Structure formats: C-alpha cells, structure tokens
Structure 1
Amino acid sequence: MSLFKAASTVSLLTLASRVTGLLRDLLMAAFFGASAMTDAFNVAFRIPNLFRRLFAEGAFSQAFVPSLAHTKAQQGDESTRRLIDSVATVLAWVLLAASVIGVAAAPVLVWALASGLGKDPQAFDAAVLMTRWMFPYIGFMSLVALSAGILNTWRRFAVPAATPVLLNIAMILAAWLGAPFFRDRGIEPIYAMAAGVMLGGVLQLGIQIPTLARLGLLPRIGVSVARIREAWRDPGVRRVLSLMGPALLGVSVAQISLLINTQIASHLPTGSVTWLFYADRLMEFPTALLGVALGVVLMPQLAAARGAGDDERYSAMLDWGLRLVLLLAAPASAALLVFAHPLVATLFHYGAFRDSDVLQVSLALAGYGVGLLGLVGIKVLAPGFYASQDMRTPVRIAIVVLVLTQLMNLGLVPLFKHAGLALSIGLGALINAGWLLVGLLRRGSWRPAPGWGRFLLQVIAATALLAVFLMWASAQFPWTELRAQASLRVALLAGMLAAAAAIYFGALWAAGVQLRQFVTR
C-alpha cells in the first residue's frame, strides 16, 4: 500500500469519525446549549482525555511504535510477540491501579483543572461524579492505543482509524435516547453523556480484538506475580519505558498548556469553557484529517527507514509529507480565519445555542485558525524525531513554547477573553512547528527536494484567492438569520465551500502544480 493510499484510508475513516463527532456535538449543542452543566461535563470528560493523551495516545504510542518496528525488523516474530505480551501485562496492571486512584481523587482533579466551577456547587459536584464514572475510560483507551500501535506497525490502518466512530455513536445514542430517558426519571440529563463515554470505550476496545486474533497478535496479559515480574524485567519493556520518560514530558507540556487554559477559561464568563470546546472540535477536523492521518502512516515507515539506514527514503517521505501539509492546511487555515462565522452558525446554531454563542465560538475558531498550519505540521515534523528515538529535542522546544504561550496569554486574554486563549495556542503552534523544521534541516534529516520556493508561492497565491472568495461569501448571506431555514443554510455552506475548493485547486492547476506527484508516492 502506497503512503498516499494509506494516508487516504486513514483520512477517510477519520472523516467518518469527525462527521459522527460533529453530529454528536450538534445534538449536545441543541439539547444542552452552553451552561454550567455542560461546562461540568466538558471538564469531567477532559480529565480522562488528559490522561489518555498523556499516556495512551501520547507518550506510550511515541515510545512503543518505534520500539515495536525496530524489534520486528531486527529480532523476528517470536521476540516481537514476547514484547507485545510483556508491554500489555505491564500496561494493564498500571491502568487498573491508575483507575482506582483516579476515581478516589476525582474532587482534587476537578479542582485542579477548573477550580472556577466551585462558584456553582451543583456544577462542581456534577463534574466530580461524572469524572468518577468516566475515569476508567483511560484504561480502555490505553489498551486501544496498544492495539492500534500493533496494527499500524503491521500496516493494518483501517481498524484503528475507524474505532473513534464507535465512541461517537455511543455518545449520539446517549444524547438522543439516554438524556430524555434520564430527564423523564428526574435524573440530570447530562449524566447520560458520561454513560455514553464508557459504553464507547468498551466498543472501541472490542472491535480491535478480531483483527489482532487473525494476525496471531492478540496480547496475552499475565495475571500471576511471576509473569508480572517477568514482564517488568523484559528488556523491550525497559526500552519502551526509557523512551516514555522524555516523551511523557513532551506530551505533558502540551497538556499542561491545555490545563492552564481551561483553568483560565473557568474564571472567564460562563460558557467560555464550552465555547472553546466547540471551537476546538471544529479545529480538530483539519488537524485530524491531515496531520493525524499523515503522522499515523509516516511514523512506522520513518522508523523502518531509519532502522535500515536508508536516509534518502527517510528524507523523501518527510518532504512528501510536508508538501502535502502545506498544500491542504494552508487553505484550511484561511477558511477558519475568514469563514468561521458561517461554519459555526450552520453547524451549531440550533435549539439552545444562541446567536451570542455563535459569535463567541467563531472568535475562538479564528484564533485557532491562525496556527492551523503549525498544528498540522507538528504531526509530521515530530515523528521525524520520534522515528530516530529522539524524544528530547521536541520536548525542549515544547517547554520553551509553553512559556511563550503563557506569556502571550498575559497580553491576549485581557483583550480577547477566551479567544485570546485560542490565539495563543495558534501562535505557539506556529513557533513550535518552525523550530522543529529548523532542527530537521540542521541535522540533515530533511533535505528539501528542488522546487520548494515555487511551490510555496503557488500555494500562497491560490490560498489568497480562496480567502477573498470566502470573505465575500461570509458577508453576502445572513448566516444567523437563516436559523429557521436549516436546509437552505446547509446548502449555501456546502456550495460556498465547494466553490472555494474549486477556486483553490483551479488556481493551483493554472499555476502549474502537478497534483499527481502526491498520489504516486
């Protein structure tokens, strides 16, 4: 399977995930709006997600996938299966202990993440209860990350990319059926969403098992003291743990920034946490479709090229990935900047979602849009270091960027409130990506292929045309006033975006860009 075909498969399945996730958010926005109780749910859901991103999909994946690829290439199937079993054993028992501690420490975790909820005791108590319900979700997702790392190394990208759809389906059912069921029985409806999260975790893990079993790679978790001790002493596990240290620090920096921003937002006007949440969800669409898909496909391939000493292939894959990032992320960034209001109005402006909510989410989305190119670029640039088992350089860069981001918050938040938080993240992402890019150039890991200067100018010109058209489209139609004409508004949005895409790719074609070069890699 070519890199483009693999990335396209992951991207299409990620699109399915994001579409169902968007439907989930639409139902939540219409049913719950933006209130203290939605803030409570978003804080409670963010806590297990924080740990999931730190350990499961963050440090663990960054350390495990290169180690697994190296073991597979150098030591054969038997050693690889032994590594999988040992890592699964250690991971399962650590997760069990972490879940017990997390449930017990829920009040402290909620206070640490959003102490501003304490102004509303009912919301704070609801956040604590939902945190206790959802904290074991990290256990399911960590085992899902283990399974995904195995399948991606064996170039089975489809199942791991499809699993998030199951979480969204579970939460859609929770909002559509569970919330009315709870409300009719005098139970706070938002609690149904917490139950949906746990159901989704079970489904996501379950769907991985058949594929792993067919490949003969289903992890065998040890339950005896002797087996657990043996797993801890396994050299492969030790290597993964040694790589997880700096990787965890690097991922922690990003999550610390998120935690600080959530803490700040909880002290801003009511609804700020939720406005940022919806803006973040829309920003994640292009980030996941482009950056995550490329990162998932490139990581094991870069690790294999580095392990084989094939520096030319390593550089060529990075060059292909970076060109594709620029080609697709630049117009997406422009769209979020100048077309945020129509996007938010069309997607969320229903039910309890007010005109003022549309405005506030749009401002935050534009802030994220400033840095979208950096946010997507990091997903390709960072694996360039991880594949070489260099976790420290991205960590050092991330720490400096964290400090810079918070310094920017000091000036931006008083001026722009919650939108200032989004803008600081966007600017920080651009700095981070630029620094990583310079690092790869200096060490010679990426040697740019000829034609970059011309390609950059072609993309800038085409993006400018797209931005001008979308600015006109944003001002041409009364997007919020079309609330009662939902079908017309959706049709207008689809038409404007399709026209913008045609303008962009038409301009690229007229400028001489050969899109076929991206497909044949």
Structure 2
Amino acid sequence: MSKIAKAAIGLMIATLIAKTLGFSRELALASAYGASSTSDAFLVAMNIPAVIFTAIGTSLGTAFIPLFCEVKSNRGEEASVKYTNNILNVVVIICIILALLGAVFAPQLVKLFALGFKGETMEQAVYFTRIMLLGIPFLGISYIMMAYLQVKENFIIPGLMPIPYNICIIIAILLSVKISPYILPFGALIGLLGQFIFQLPFAMKRGYKYKPYINLKDEYLKKMIWLIGPVLIGVAVNQINTIVDRTIASTLVEGSISALNYANKLNQFVMGMFIVSISSVVYPILSKLSTENNKTEFNKSIITSINTVILIVIPISVGAIILSTPIVKILFQRGEFDARATYMTSVALVFYSIGMIGFGLRDILGKVFYSLQDTKTPMINGVIAMGLNITLNILFVKFTNMQLAGLAFATSISALVTIVLLFINLRMKIGPFGGKSIVIVFVKSILSALLMAIITIFIYKNLSSLLGLGTLKEILTLVISIVVGAFVYGISVVVLKVSEVNFILTNLKKKI
C-alpha cells in the first residue's frame, strides 16, 4: 500500500508541475492574442494532431502494458524490448503516412474542425495545421515510451512529459508577438519532439535499446490490434465531441473557440491533477484483483476510488460555479484578453463545471470495466454520449439563446448521463458493489458543498466591499474566500462522518 501511495503522490506532484506549466501556456496565449481569430486558428490547428493521435495513443498504452508483461513473462526481457521496438516502428510508419495525408488534406481537416473559418483565419489555420501535423510521428513514439516507462513502474517521467512541449510553445508565443504569428506552430512541432527526447534517457536506463525491427506477422502485434479496437472507438468519441463543439463554436461570435478552450482547460487541470493520478494507480490494483477473482476487495477498491473522486470534485465544481468570473478575470484578463473574453470564458466555465463530476467518474468507471477485460461497455456508452452531446449542441445553439453556454452544458449533460449508464451496466455485470455507500457520500458531499458555497459567497462579497478593486486586492479576496470555503467543506464532511475522510485523518495521525 505504501508503494502505491508513493506512486500516486509522486504522479500528482509531477502532474501538478506539468499542468501548471500547461496552464501558463494558456495564460501566455490569452495575454498575447486574447479571444481572437489568431488564437482560434492556433487552437484548432493544435487540436487536430492531438485528436488524430490521442485516441490511438491512449488505446496503444492501454493494450501495450498487459501484452508487454505477457511477453516478458513468457519469453524474457530481451523479447519484451524486441516487442517494444516492433510496436514503436510500426507506429512511426503509420504516423508518417497520417502526417503526409494530413498535410495534403489540411484545408478539409480545418473545415471539419472549424466549419465557420473563412479568409485570413482559414489561411492561418491551414498553415498552422500543416506544420504541426509533421509532429505526429514524435507524438506516436512519445506514447510508446510513456507506456514503456509505466510498465517499468516509472510514473514520474510520463507525468512530466508535457513540460518540454509547453516550454517550447510558450517561447514561440512570446517570439510570435515580436516577429510573426506564423512561428507559433514551430514551437509546438519542436515541443512534440522534445517530449520523446525527454523520456528516452530514462527508458534506456530501464533497459530499452532501440533496434530497427519490424515484424507485421508477430502474434502480439495482431493481439494488440484486436485489443485496441473497442478502446480506440471509446476514446475517439470524446475527440469527436471536441471536434463537434469547436466546429459549432466556429459559427458563433469571434473568440468562441478560445473561450470554450480556456474554460475547458480549467476543468482539465482538475481532471489531470486528481482524477488521472487516482485512476492510473487504481487501474493496476483493480486488474490484479479481477485476475485473482477477489470480489470483496475489488468492490472495496471501486467504492474507495469513486467516493474519493466525489469528495474531491464536488467542492471544486461548486466553487468554480460560484466564483467563475473572479477566477477567470484573475487568471486570464490581461493584454488582449479583455472583459468580453472574461465574460464568455466564465459562462462556459459555469456550464462545464456542472458536469465535472461526470467527467471524473467516467474515467474511473472506464478503468473498472477495462480491469474486467470489458472494453465494449465503455465504447457503447461513449457512442451514446456522443450522440446525445451532438443532439443537445444543435438544440441549445439553434433553438435557444444559450449559444456558447449551450455547448458546454450539452457536454456536461452527456457526461452525467454516461456515468448513470455505466453504473447501471456495472451493477448488471458484477452485481451489488456498494452503491448505497456511494449515494450516502454523494449526498453528504453535496450538503457540505452547499454550506461551503453560502459562506464563500458571503466572505467574497464582504471582502470585495472592504478591500475594493485592484489586482492584488482581488487576488487576496479570492484566495481568502477559497481557503475559508475549503475549511468549511472539510469540517462539514468530518462532522457528517464520511468514512474516507476519517480514514485519511487516522493515517495522518499515525504519521504524525
């Protein structure tokens, strides 16, 4: 347990560093270009290679690790390295083909991702896209190195992987303001290469040696292709949702894509910091317990991970809703990011935050099904969520005045519906697993968060009146309000005797 806890804490710290730098990248872009046509074009172009390969990369990582272990167990360390090289070289070839095809059909790709782009915005987006697509092979091999390091029980370096990428983009943004916006994509391209170079020495230290080996008839390559199919579709639907959201946003007022992106990044910061760290550590535990058919401990692990996510995400979600405007203003409003951009982003943040618990639990529940070697159920539910998201996007934008808020709200509703379906499917698959405990923790967390919200709003309004305007004063007001709110929430869940909190406090007392 100690080893698992250390891995989780280490990964959280690494993720915090990487996410903070990633958020600094967003701040730099917001300050330099605000919610403008250039920022819209750059964000769309940066999203295209990510969408093309993130689904594949995530699926590769999911299938790579168990097969690597199987090869190592049956054939030894040397064979496992040979297997790694085979997968890596095949991925590189596929990525080169995808990059070349993407460069040729860049205008069509941009139209797919941003239907409303025209004129100079369209030209910029096509140029940015062609440059960034050259980095797809680097993105592919980075995912393989990340999976290799994880199977070797090194979680820190994969967690820090985004650092060189974000540093290169920040430098490019700063230079682009003085030179030309057209150097922006080169920062992203160099950053993608930097991700691979950053991981390579650590992989080699763990026993990796590159060899130009390819065997398309290898049984493990065929098995991997078979395994990643449902996972790929399940992950891809999330990327399709992003495409649809940005495509519709491109038809709205200028800056809609940027505002949607900035709000989404705030949510992703929370997801990456806490949820991914928890699921990354819990996944191997669940897989082991599932293999051993240890139903009692398996169910306990499900309840603990779900309740932990609920306790973390609910207060953050409520806090983001009630303090959306001051949070966005303090983080983003400078340079070209004006009051209009703050308003648009804060509105999107509110409606994204409604579904934050859905985003978090969807990741955990997906890992539960994968540990049961069931990749079809998350895929089917993902497809249902995608259909619902697209339908609601059209309804909210076309038949209501919600516009940008409607896109974020549709995403939240589809995520919430998905977790309800996943809970139902999980109960049908494994029987009762402690749903009553989850409901009790959820209700207690909601009540605590509502009390937190009332006191936080009271503190914020009174401090605002007392301290007045000014950047430092506004930061102080926000920080004090958040700290008081967090303290109230913590005391409340302790008073309500949430078992997970008592467990954490007991362990802390032992350590002290």
TM-score (norm: length of structure 1): 0.90
Report the Cα distance in structure 2 between the residues aligned to 1:384 and 1:49, rounded to whole angstroms: 25
**CA deviation profile, 1:471-505 (whole Å, cap 9, x unmatched):** 335545669x977x322222222222111111111
Alignment of 1:94-173 (within 5 A): 94-118=94-118, 121-173=119-171
Report the Cα distance in structure 2 between the residues aligned to 1:73 and 1:334, rounded to whole angstroms: 47
Report the Cα distance in structure 1 between the residues aligned to 2:294 and 2:352, rounded to whole angstroms: 37
Aligned to 2:48: 47
Contact 2:303–2:438 (8 Å) recurs in 1: no
**Change beyond 3 A, Cα 1:368–1:317:** same
**Change beyond 3 A, Cα 1:144–1:175:** same
**CA deviation profile, 1:378-432 (whole Å, cap 9, x unmatched):** 1111011122332111111111111112222233223210110001101111111
Question: How many residues are paired up?
Answer: 502
Report the Cα distance in structure 2 between the residues aligned to 1:304 and 1:192, rounded to whole angstroms: 48
Aligned to 1:54, the other structure's residue is in SS state: helix
Alignment of 1:330-369 (within 5 A): 330-369=314-353
**Offset, 1:54:** 1.8
**CA deviation profile, 1:3-58 (whole Å, cap 9, x unmatched):** 3332222122111122112222112111111111111111111101111322113x
Aligned to 1:34, the other structure's residue is in SS state: coil
Q: Which moved more, 1:293-302 or 1:243-252?
A: 293-302
**CA deviation profile, 1:288-328 (whole Å, cap 9, x unmatched):** 11221122222333333333444444333222211110110
When the two chains are superposed, the root-mean-square deviation of aligned CA atoms in Å is 2.4
Aligned to 2:377: 393
**Change beyond 3 A, Cα 1:446–1:384:** farther
Report the Cα distance in structure 1 between the residues aligned to 2:9 and 2:332, rounded to whole angstroms: 28
Q: Which moved more, 1:289-298 or 1:356-365?
A: 289-298
Contact 1:294–1:379 (8 Å) recurs in 2: no
Aligned to 2:479: 494
Aligned to 1:192: 183
Contact 2:460–2:477 (8 Å) recurs in 1: no
Give the counterpart letter for 1:366 in structure 2: V
Report the Cα distance in structure 1 between the residues aligned to 2:372 and 2:457, rounded to whole angstroms: 43
**Change beyond 3 A, Cα 1:311–1:77:** farther
Q: Which moved more, 1:165-174 or 1:256-265?
A: 165-174
Report the Cα distance in structure 1 between the residues aligned to 2:232 and 2:160, rounded to whole angstroms: 26
Alignment of 1:300-315 (within 5 A): 300-315=284-299
User: Runs of 5+ in structure 1 lacking a partner?
Assistant: 183-187
**Change beyond 3 A, Cα 1:55–1:306:** same
Aligned to 2:430, the other structure's residue is in SS state: coil
Give the counterpart letter for 1:95 in structure 2: C
Contact 1:320–1:518 (8 Å) recurs in 2: no
Q: Which moved more, 1:240-249 or 1:291-300?
A: 291-300
Alignment of 1:478-493 (within 5 A): 485-493=470-478
Contact 1:65–1:300 (8 Å) recurs in 2: no
User: Runs of 5+ in structure 2 lacking a partner?
Assistant: none
Report the Cα distance in structure 2 between the residues aligned to 1:458 and 1:361, rounded to whole angstroms: 30
- Verify: 1:213 aligned to 2:213, yes or no: no
Q: Which moved more, 1:493-502 or 1:307-316?
A: 307-316
Q: Which moved more, 1:270-279 or 1:467-476?
A: 467-476
**Offset, 1:448:** 2.3
Contact 2:103–2:129 (8 Å) recurs in 1: yes
Report the Cα distance in structure 2 between the residues aligned to 1:267 and 1:450, rounded to whole angstroms: 45
Report the Cα distance in structure 1 between the residues aligned to 2:74 and 2:474, rounded to whole angstroms: 56
TM-score (norm: length of structure 2): 0.92
Aligned to 2:401, the other structure's residue is in SS state: helix
**CA deviation profile, 1:348-380 (whole Å, cap 9, x unmatched):** 111111111111111100110010001011111
Structure possessing the higher relative contact order (Cα contacts under 8 Å, 6 or more residues apart): 1
**Change beyond 3 A, Cα 1:2–1:43:** same
Aligned to 2:331, the other structure's residue is in SS state: helix
Contact 2:113–2:247 (8 Å) recurs in 1: yes
Report the Cα distance in structure 1 between the residues aligned to 2:452 and 2:148, rounded to whole angstroms: 40
- Verify: 1:26 aligned to 2:27, yes or no: yes
Alignment of 1:371-520 (within 5 A): 371-413=355-397, 414-444=400-430, 447-448=433-434, 451-473=437-459, 475-476=461-462, 485-514=470-499, 515=501, 517-518=503-504
